[in-house]
Every structure is written in C-alpha cells, then in structure tokens.
Amino acid sequence: MNRNLLAALAAAPVAATLLAPAARADAEQDQRYIEMLDRDGVHWTTVEHASAAGLAICDHLERGDSFGDVVIGVMLGNPADTQAQASNAITDARAVYCPDTPIH
C-alpha cells in the first residue's frame, strides 16, 4: 500500500498548530489508528507522523473547527487522498484519540 498519510497537514490553513499537538498517544492507540487507516485506504508515511496527524486532527476538532474545514486541511496536506479518505482519516482519529469530541 502507498503510505503518505496527511503528508503536510501543517501547510493547510486550518493546520497552523498541527506540528505540536498537546497530547501524546500510546502505542496501542497508534496501532489501532494505523489499522483503521489501512482498512480505509488512507495513505501514511510513518507511525509517528500518522499519530501526530491524528492528534492534530483532534486538536482542531476540540478547538471547534468544522469537519469540513479539517477535511480541506487534510486534503491540502496530502493531495493523494480523496475527500472520502480525508474524511475517513478524521473519523478514525476521532474514534481512537478523541472519541468524546463533538463534530461541528
């Protein structure tokens, strides 16, 4: 599988804080996230980068950024992903890293 997950999320307008998410995931969460990304056909590079991107997605959702804005940020950061793949990456990140975060 081609692995380029969310390659440059920080380049997206909604992604200003994506390089330094506040929380850190544990290895089990990371593995679960990778498995979900693989299942959904989402591209990723390294586990560390995928985890950081997933946590950053949660940071944006927790800040109240809309789902649509986060989708755009993910797509701008990784043009290889479709809108459906970007949506899946966000849904997967929320399920693993921030399940109690509402989606706006």
Domain boundaries, the chain: 48-99
Q: What is the pLDDT of residue 5?
A: 35
Please write the tens of the pLDDT for every residue from 36-90.
999 999 989 999 999 999 999 999 999 999 999 999 999 998 888 999 999 999 9
CA gap 88, 75 in Å, rounded? 11
Residue 13 pLDDT greater than 50, yes or no: no
Q: What is the DSSP string of the chain?
A: ----TTTTGGGSGGGTTTTS-S----HHHHHHHHHHHHHHT---S-HHHHHHHHHHHHHHHHHT--HHHHHHHHHHH-TTS-HHHHHHHHHHHHHHH-TT----
Residue 20 pLDDT greater than 70, yes or no: no
What predicted TM-score, i.e. pTM, was given to this entire model? 0.77
